[in-house]
Structure 1
Amino acid sequence: MTGVVSELPVRPTHIADLWYAHNELLVMLGGASAITMTVERESMSPWMYRLAPALRAATQLPATTPTAETLLAGHVDLVFATPSLSGVDSYRKTGIPTVGVEFHDTAGLLRCLDLTATILGTDHAQEVTRDYRTYLEETEKTLATRLADIPEASRPRVLHILSVSPMKVDGAGTMIDEWIRLAGGRNAAEEIKGSKRPISLEQIAAWNPDIIILGGMSGDAEPKTDGPVWKELKAVKNGKVYRNPVGAFPWDRYGTEFALQIQWAATVIHPELFHDTDMVEITRAFYRRFFSYDLTQDEARRILATQPPA
């Protein structure tokens, strides 16, 4: 998270958010109605739009790098974008206030929340940010206490598959690696650095993970299950292949639902230690507390089952 900015407006009202993950942060902080341009789509993130119907009024940008002229025509008074986005310099040169945002771990996530809340300039955004920090810290402490007696070498080896076709996994130095460890596992792909790394089935077979977690948007695994390589994997033979929940944003990626992800992952990796964890009620309480949305039990179950709103 860089926080590199141009001169900013006080309480922006016409925001263009060009980083998918950051849209969720704005929604959680009460800024959905200020998003007037976005790269998000209801077809991609239906739960985000269910939680924040105001997003339907935003212009859907056709690409992640709109021209400065497009943003000016939309009367944008603030842009959020990753620093590497090719259009950032041109936005600043034309006088559009632009904030560079990105994060790769929970420390960066919290800094990004702090920055975003400050820019929104509302008491609500500041209060939600403080509350979220407390919730995340308490959740991590609870998990650490329950997992304290399990030696590192005895923890299950977990492989997170982002995409099935092409096959891509997440290695060390990622939030995925972080939640695997916080939930009591070891990243089977720890020898690889970074996210979205292409990999072969043969390499997965060499790792032979105890547990496989398929990203919520990873695609259908069935084409890969026809051959002997997949079927002989320890995780497959033992029925330890799981599909990751998707809420406002995929829980397993880069967003505030990380706090739910570590709890869900703990129930998958160590069901014997977390048998009393009711993820339906935890999920409902989280969205009520941080998104001001009352999920029904059925809606919570659909999120946990990687299903869109009914």
Structure 2
Amino acid sequence: MNNQLFRCLISIFLIVNASGFCAVFAEETRTITDMTGRTVIIPVVIDSVLGTAPPTTEAVYMIDPDVLIGLNFAFNTSKYVSSKYTNLPNVGGQQMGNTLNYETFLSMNPDIVLYGATVGTDVSDQIESIQTKLAPIPVVGVEDSTNAEDYGREIEFLGELLNAEEEADDLNIFYDNVYQTVNSKVATIPDEQKVRVYYAEGPDGLKTEPEESAHAQLIKICGGNNVADVPEKSGGGMTPVSMEQVLAWNPDLILAGDSKFYNSVLSDPNWKDINAVKNKKVYLIPNQPFGWIDRPPGVNRIIGIPWLAKVFYPDLFTDIDLPALIKEFYSNFLHYDLTDDEVNTIITSSGLK
């Protein structure tokens, strides 16, 4: 009888303690469905995050930078960065065909790891492989991180994920405003009247992106006609082209992704017969602290939409107050208050008057 009573008490003790453990565990975690459709258990409060590639990492930086414990790139030499974030470590990433440093990610032990995925692509094998290697750290899939026509879904998802809904809403309002302002006007331009654009990458300008590349997406969004008739290069883009191809395309306007090329092209005899060079229609894409048109093709380039619209069609967009938009974007989403001189330097250094 005593043995039976003892076993009964032990069973009750174990049930009560197990129930208490489950209750505590349930209070500290939540179950979500990520943007790729996976069910993931994550902490209720997320204090530390790493991303596997720059587009998603930079989205987090813009919405809730204090949760980032590392970046996929060096930040200590970038301009227009708050001193609070300049020393975030470079943990590497999967950009440009690189392999994730799993040991580094595991040693930093973030609450979650974010994996950026392109909507419509099957990344189940890749994301599960990363999850296996990073267990028990939960890996959360985020879609549309490089789709400038639909950043809203990613921004909203990250806001809910990080309990930063207000910041995400503010970013979406800014994005919707500039996107609709530009898109509504360029949609009325006949195709034959659209500016013909060449996106020059690299120090010699002889790498580029075709229209279907995410890296060149803003050209189309802002009403440009991308002249590059080349295949898209996997693993980060930058398809090599020849000088003869560029001469045959003869663009009306050139977007320079490299300052060395920008500073030399107007005096380079190889380029002198191209309309864009003849008419001095060459512009340097701002890239501090992140690219405005590309590199990476994430939400960081939202500010590139009004800039590129004014580059392409200055007479059509006289109502855009670009200095005010730049100040607002940097202050609210890049967490840096630009001076008037810094704003002027950004604009004039790009070639825009």
Deviation readout 1:246-290 (Å, 9 max, x if unpaired): 233101111224332121111111122224533222211222343
* 2:138 maps to 1:97: yes
The equivalent residue for 1:118 is 160
In structure 2, the CA distance between the partners of 1:139 and 1:67, relative to structure 1 (3 Å rule), is closer
* 2:84 maps to 1:54: yes
For residue 304 of structure 1, what is the amino acid of its counterpart? Answer: I
TM-score of the superposed pair, with normalisation by structure 2: 0.73
Q: Secondary structure of the equivalent of 1:41? A: coil
Q: Secondary structure of the equivalent of 1:70? A: helix
Q: C-alpha separation between the residues in 2 aligned to 1:303 and 1:92?
A: 44
In the alignment, which of 131, 135, 144 is matched to residue 174 of structure 2?
Answer: 135
* 1:246 and 1:306 in contact (8 A); partners too: no
TM-score of the superposed pair, with normalisation by structure 1: 0.82
* 2:219 maps to 1:185: no
- How far did 1:137 drift? 2.4
Q: C-alpha separation between the residues in 2 aligned to 1:219 and 1:91?
A: 41
The equivalent residue for 2:303 is 260
* 2:261 maps to 1:220: yes
The equivalent residue for 2:113 is 79
* 1:162 and 1:218 in contact (8 A); partners too: no
In structure 2, the CA distance between the partners of 1:297 and 1:81, relative to structure 1 (3 Å rule), is same
For residue 67 of structure 2, what is the amino acid of its counterpart? Answer: A
Query: Structure 2, unaligned stretches of length 5 or more?
Result: 1-34, 118-122
In structure 2, the CA distance between the partners of 1:265 and 1:63, relative to structure 1 (3 Å rule), is closer
The equivalent residue for 2:5 is none
* 1:6 and 1:92 in contact (8 A); partners too: no
The equivalent residue for 1:299 is 342
Query: Structure 1, unaligned stretches of length 5 or more?
Result: none
In structure 2, the CA distance between the partners of 1:135 and 1:294, relative to structure 1 (3 Å rule), is same
Deviation readout 1:60-93 (Å, 9 max, x if unpaired): 2256545433322223222123467979725434
The equivalent residue for 2:60 is 26
Q: C-alpha separation between the residues in 1 aligned to 2:324 and 2:137?
A: 43
* 2:262 maps to 1:232: no
For residue 169 of structure 2, what is the amino acid of its counterpart? Answer: R
Q: C-alpha separation between the residues in 1 aligned to 2:37 and 2:290?
A: 22
**Which aligned pairs between 1:264-303 and structure 2 lie closer than 5 A?**
264-303=307-346
Q: Secondary structure of the equivalent of 1:242? A: strand
For residue 72 of structure 1, what is the amino acid of its counterpart? Answer: L
Q: C-alpha separation between the residues in 2 aligned to 1:304 and 1:186?
A: 23
* 1:205 and 1:229 in contact (8 A); partners too: no
| Count of residue correspondences | 299
Aligned Cα root-mean-square deviation (Å): 3.1
For residue 220 of structure 2, what is the amino acid of its counterpart? Answer: R
* 1:11 and 1:119 in contact (8 A); partners too: no
The equivalent residue for 1:241 is 282
Q: C-alpha separation between the residues in 2 aligned to 1:87 and 1:142?
A: 36
* 1:101 and 1:112 in contact (8 A); partners too: yes
Q: C-alpha separation between the residues in 2 aligned to 1:285 and 1:240?
A: 27
* 2:70 and 2:89 in contact (8 A); partners too: yes
- How far did 1:146 drift? 3.6
- How far did 1:129 drift? 2.2
Q: Bigger CA drift: 87-96 or 15-24?
A: 87-96
For residue 157 of structure 1, what is the amino acid of its counterpart? Answer: R
Q: Bigger CA drift: 131-140 or 248-257?
A: 131-140
In structure 2, the CA distance between the partners of 1:87 and 1:126, relative to structure 1 (3 Å rule), is closer
* 2:78 maps to 1:37: no
Deviation readout 1:112-170 (Å, 9 max, x if unpaired): 222322221x2xx2122223323322323322444455312111101112323472211
The equivalent residue for 1:13 is 47
Q: Secondary structure of the equivalent of 1:189? A: coil
In structure 2, the CA distance between the partners of 1:107 and 1:4, relative to structure 1 (3 Å rule), is farther
Percent identical among aligned pairs is 28
Q: Secondary structure of the equivalent of 1:46? A: coil
Higher Rg: 2
* 2:272 and 2:278 in contact (8 A); partners too: yes
Q: C-alpha separation between the residues in 1 aligned to 2:231 and 2:92?
A: 33
* 2:41 and 2:138 in contact (8 A); partners too: yes
